[in-house]
Structure 1
Amino acid sequence: MKKLLLLFAFFAAVAQSCDEPEDPYAEQRDLLEKQDFKISQHLEENNITAVKDDYGIYRVALEENPEGEEIAFGDVALVNYTISQLDGTLIGENEVESMRLGYLDPNQNNIQQRYLPTALFVALGHMREGETYRFYVPFNTAYGNFDLTGVVPNQSIIVIEMEVEEVYQTKEELFAADLAAIDSAVVAREDTVTDTLSTGIRKVLLEEGEGEMVDANDVVSVEYTGYLLNGKEFDSNTSAGDPLFEFVVGAGKTIPGFETAVKSMKKGEKAVFYIPSTQAYGSDGVFIGPELVRSKFNAAIPPHSPLIFEIELVELVKK
């Protein structure tokens, strides 16, 4: 009888252990503890004093500006950054111009945070305009479990050094910054603006068209090439064999600024348009940085980016 009770107790214990699910986060917590120790050890060995936040990110103030603007959710910050591994191996930095980064809630899932290190958003919450900080970031708020073989070792600690140049707190401030950046690009490209559309779009006429202007509900077919303000091409349909881009004006099949640009054209016309970010992809662009990491993904337009489009109106069917 005693053996039977012991056997019953054994099977009961096995059944209970089977009912208890394994902790799916145990391995991650273990790795984070090891990385926290590794960061702490690095800081101690290099005589660096840092403050740890609730995300497990350590920060060091390199240049403070107590009088600078604070950054609130929804603001857009103009930043410069460098991202490295903990041993100092450079991963990359913003290549040419400063990067516009919207301050989003790090606890909310959004398309930017699927690619950007969440630590960038956490960092903005600690900073003011005119400040520079260094952040030591464990893998879960860095590049996580993305497969970045040959670019960033999997589940890596990263170090972000970031400077906040300016903060745009309203759409009006961001729009003004867009126009200033556009006008600088116009000068750099030695273009001559022939018209400024009502939405702030700068137009440079290359070849005149003929006939009627485009109206809402017209069907248009165009060739185009899109560029960032730094001249980097991100899209085009001008190669041999590429189909024309056909759409109904006003149907919302393209960004507002592209439609506004086309509505200013006649058949056969060719022009360059400088489009503010508010008339382009706004905050919906996906910034994947730096360049070495971006090569692993297919997303070329950073958020809050003014754009340049060279457009030729090939066909026009009036409504």
Structure 2
Amino acid sequence: MKYVLTYSIFFLTLTFLLFGCMEQDESAFDKQMQEDDEALKDYFATNNIQAERLSSGIYFESLRENPSGSVVEDESIVAIRYRLQTLIGKAIDSLDSEAAPLRFYHAQKHPDALFPRGINIGVSHMRIGEQYRFYIPSYQAFDSYSFGQYLPQYAILVAEIEVENIETKEAIEQEEEQAITNYIEANSLTDVKELPSGIFFQLLEEGTGDQPTTGAFAQVNFKGYYLDDKVFTESEKDQPFTFYVGKADIIPGFEAGVEAMKKGAKARVFIPSHLGFAEGIQVIPTAIRKDFLEEHNIRDWRPYEPVVFELELIDFQ
């Protein structure tokens, strides 16, 4: 429970697990790279496909170009639509035009913000409005991870990607603020205040005494859920979460909520993603998300979504 609220996306952990180590020795990894590349070349020759190879080992075809579109730059928030299948033509997942586009954080040093990571690597060559088809070798996809008959081990994937937009942090913050406001109104919540920290705070029960300051050792019961009321974490019964205020690596919105409370108080705190779990990790196909993250001991925090915490400040010293 100590690290349940850790403000981290685990990029380095995932990179080690899925790309550096991959539970193989170096020679086995080199062999897999060679086998994937040969399979792709055979596929291209058989189907008369002219695809370009990137230094990452990913191949691509340009299906629609847009020279006037903005380039996907490093550390962008990219919104895409996609179709995903295996190299042998088995459809896996898609995102149609009626659904909201998939958002993810694009950064060269953190390709693990999206899996299969080859998509995140590939979009750096695209502009808004363009559509590419990427051929992703297994070591840039899910490597040895499998999901029943849905996704086999060492699957080479084909992804058709359309970059719909490059979004700004400011636009996302405004959108999330509106979503929080809508939730408050829809649930007829009263006396909810926006604090200077950026969180929305509703005091449910008064406490007594002072509020905790930096360095205080706090004991807190909590329940965390999304605006669709799906609970994603909860403190264990009779085992409150403990931390030093201002000295712990926890999400800023949680700490700001605790700092606004007195001993014995209960409150509901609405936290936008920039004060919460930020970009998180995206996984497609969506059907494997929960299993994939559990397999690698990564908490299932949704990217770019506000969260709600119900807090009880039991005590602090």
Residue type at the aligned position of 2:192: T
> Of 179, 200, 203, which aligns to 2:174?
179
Q: Does 1:85 align with 2:82?
A: no
Q: Does 1:76 align with 2:77?
A: yes
Q: Is the 8 A contact 2:51 2:59 kept in 1?
A: yes
What is the aligned partner in structure 1 of residue 21 from structure 2?
none
Gaps of 5+ in 2: 1-25
How far 1:153 moved relative to its partner? 0.9
What is the aligned partner in structure 2 of residue 210 from structure 1?
207
Residue type at the aligned position of 1:184: A
Q: Give me the CA root mean square deviation.
A: 3.3
Secondary structure (helix, strand or coil) at the match of 2:293 reads coil
How far 1:75 moved relative to its partner? 1.8
Secondary structure (helix, strand or coil) at the match of 1:31 reads helix
What is the aligned partner in structure 1 of residue 17 from structure 2?
none
What is the aligned partner in structure 2 of residue 117 from structure 1?
116
How far 1:93 moved relative to its partner? 4.9
- Note closer, same or farther for the CA distance 1:49–1:252 as it changes in structure 2 (3 Å cut): same
> Of 258, 262, 281, which aligns to 1:286?
281
Work out the percentage of aligned pairs sharing the same amino acid. Answer: 25
Secondary structure (helix, strand or coil) at the match of 1:165 reads strand
> Of 168, 191, 194, which aligns to 2:192?
194
How far 1:206 moved relative to its partner? 6.0
Structure-2 separation of matches of 1:117 and 1:309: 29
- 1:142-291 equivalent positions in 2, closer than 5 A: 142-168=141-167, 173-188=168-183, 190-191=186-187, 192=189, 194-203=192-201, 205=202, 207-212=204-209, 214-216=211-213, 217-229=215-227, 231-237=229-235, 241=237, 243-283=239-279, 285-291=280-286
Q: Is the 8 A contact 2:219 2:240 kept in 1?
A: yes
How far 1:312 moved relative to its partner? 2.4
Secondary structure (helix, strand or coil) at the match of 1:311 reads strand
How far 1:268 moved relative to its partner? 4.3
- Larger Rg computed on CA atoms: 1
Q: Is the 8 A contact 2:269 2:311 kept in 1?
A: no
- Note closer, same or farther for the CA distance 1:56–1:42 as it changes in structure 2 (3 Å cut): farther
Secondary structure (helix, strand or coil) at the match of 1:32 reads helix
Q: Does 1:39 align with 2:37?
A: no
- Note closer, same or farther for the CA distance 1:252–1:176 as it changes in structure 2 (3 Å cut): farther
What is the aligned partner in structure 1 of residue 5 from structure 2?
none
Secondary structure (helix, strand or coil) at the match of 2:80 reads strand
Secondary structure (helix, strand or coil) at the match of 1:125 reads helix
- Note closer, same or farther for the CA distance 1:249–1:39 as it changes in structure 2 (3 Å cut): same
Residue type at the aligned position of 1:84: Q
Gaps of 5+ in 1: 1-21
Structure-1 separation of matches of 2:148 and 2:130: 33
What is the aligned partner in structure 1 of residue 56 from structure 2?
55
- Note closer, same or farther for the CA distance 1:188–1:207 as it changes in structure 2 (3 Å cut): closer
Q: Is the 8 A contact 2:180 2:306 kept in 1?
A: no
Structure-2 separation of matches of 1:180 and 1:213: 34
TM-score, normalization by structure 2: 0.74
- Note closer, same or farther for the CA distance 1:273–1:66 as it changes in structure 2 (3 Å cut): farther
- Note closer, same or farther for the CA distance 1:198–1:219 as it changes in structure 2 (3 Å cut): same
Secondary structure (helix, strand or coil) at the match of 2:36 reads helix
Secondary structure (helix, strand or coil) at the match of 2:292 reads coil
Structure-1 separation of matches of 2:200 and 2:66: 36
Q: Is the 8 A contact 1:221 1:315 kept in 2?
A: yes
Deviation string 1:70-129 (CA, Å, 9 cap, x unpaired) is: 112222213333422234433335797543322222xx5x5826x722312222112122
How far 1:266 moved relative to its partner? 3.2
Residue type at the aligned position of 1:119: G
- How many residue pairs match? The answer is 282
- Note closer, same or farther for the CA distance 1:30–1:53 as it changes in structure 2 (3 Å cut): closer
Residue type at the aligned position of 1:32: D
Residue type at the aligned position of 1:207: L
- Note closer, same or farther for the CA distance 1:226–1:97 as it changes in structure 2 (3 Å cut): farther
Deviation string 1:229-251 (CA, Å, 9 cap, x unpaired) is: 5544321226xx46222222222
How far 1:315 moved relative to its partner? 0.9
Secondary structure (helix, strand or coil) at the match of 2:208 reads strand
Q: Does 1:103 align with 2:102?
A: no
What is the aligned partner in structure 1 of residue 8 from structure 2?
none
What is the aligned partner in structure 1 of residue 309 from structure 2?
310
Structure-2 separation of matches of 1:42 and 1:208: 69
Q: Is the 8 A contact 1:220 1:313 kept in 2?
A: no
